[in-house]
Amino acid sequence: MQQQARAWKKAGVPVAVVPTMGYLHGGHLSLVVRARKAVGPRGKVVVSIYVNPTQFAPTEDLKKYPRDLSRDKQLCRGAGVVLVFTPSDKQVYPEGFSTYVVEEKLSKSMEGASRPTHFRGVCTVVAKLFNIVAPDIAVFGAKDFQQASIVQRMARDLNFPLKVIVAPTLRERDGLAMSSRNKFLTPDQRAQATVLNEALHEASATVKNKPASAYRLKEQIAAHIATRPQARLDYVEFFDPKTLEPVQSVKCGTQMALAVFFGKTRLIDNATL
């Protein structure tokens, strides 16, 4: 990969990377479309597929994470991806690996609070990927809003010479955000999982005409989530989309994010209200 990346650089070919953990769906492919648009007809789009062990806690679903590499490669080919980069664990984490990248501010809340070592793993693997692929552009999904914000911050703070584009969340017809983990839901859980998107709409509607207290709105959203017997709210947060600082007064333009368990499956979603 590194050799190919150097050849492209030398030839002045624009390169975009779309980092993923595979088991691709329409959301991932929409990032590829965005990446192709960004690099133009002369450009190349690389998709990386790597289920990164350092971003999973020991209690999480690393082993169970869905994988289907041959299907993924076929989808990538169909979407005009020139190279699917699938490094092995040994390549990414050679024996004695002991260097990590830690973002220390935006990583503390929400996903970082629920999954304390998660963003250290994400930043480390994304930084390595940026060094290996040397892209001009990297495309991330707004589905993982906090992750995209942290990667943008890391790229700026560590002087990676690339632009990070954040592309919108693709949803199923009933509003559920596409996710590789949706596959784990039982039919009953799948039906109830629309509650995340409903909660985003409910909060939007509540603050449409006047601001609301974050405390009260959290109670309202928790009560809505509780109407689905299989759903267990992990967190709901209201925050400034630029700083990720929590707000006390929620209004139009405030960012909302939530995480909800259905059995062992944990789903996340977010939106600008």
Q: What is the DSSP letter of 89?
A: H
- CB closer to ligand AMP out of 24 and 212: 24
Query: Is 118 a known active-site residue?
Result: no
Binding-site member from 8, 20, 130, 268 for ligand AMP (CB under 6 A): 20
Output the smallest distance, CB 215 to ligand AMP, in A: 29
Minimum CB–partner distance for residue 121 and ligand AMP (Å) = 11
Residues 137-166 that bind ligand AMP (CB under 6 A): 140-141, 143-144
Shortest Cβ distance from residue 168 to ligand AMP (Å)? 7
Residue bearing tokens 């002991």: 98
Q: Which lies closer to ligand AMP via its Cβ, residue 27 or residue 43?
A: 27
31 binds ligand AMP (CB under 6 A): yes
Cα–Cα distance for residue pair 50/47, rounded to 1 Å: 10
Measured distance CA(140)–CA(145) in Å, rounded: 9
Q: Which stretch binds ligand AMP (CB under 6 A): 27-35, 78-86, 96-104, 190-198?
A: 27-35
DSSP reduced 3-state for 198: helix
Under the criterion CB under 6 A, does residue 85 sit at the interface with ligand AMP?
Answer: no
Q: Is 28 in the site for ligand AMP (CB under 6 A)?
A: yes
DSSP letters of 17-69? EEEE-SS--HHHHHHHHHHHHHH-TT-EEEEEE---GGGS-TTSSTTTS---H
Q: Which is nearer to ligand AMP, 43 or 141 (CB)?
A: 141
- Residues 119 and 149 sit within 8 Å (Cβ to Cβ): no
What are the helix (H) ranges across the chain?
2-11, 26-39, 69-78, 89-92, 110-114, 118-133, 145-157, 187-192, 195-207, 214-225
Catalytic residue among 25, 28, 118, 224: 28
Binding range to ligand AMP, per CB under 6 A, among 2-10, 24-32, 35-43, 92-100: 24-32
Q: Contact region for ligand AMP (CB under 6 A) — 28-36, 66-74, 86-94, 191-199?
A: 28-36
The Cα 72–Cα 78 span in angstroms is: 10
In residues, how long is the chain?
A: 273
Beta carbon nearer to ligand AMP, 78 or 168: 168
Quote the CA–CA distance of 204 and 253 in Å, as a whole number: 9
Give the interface size with ligand AMP as a residue count (CB under 6 A): 16
Residues classed as catalytic: 28
What is the contact surface with ligand AMP in residues (CB under 6 A)?
Answer: 20-21, 27-28, 30-31, 140-141, 143-144, 169-170, 177-180
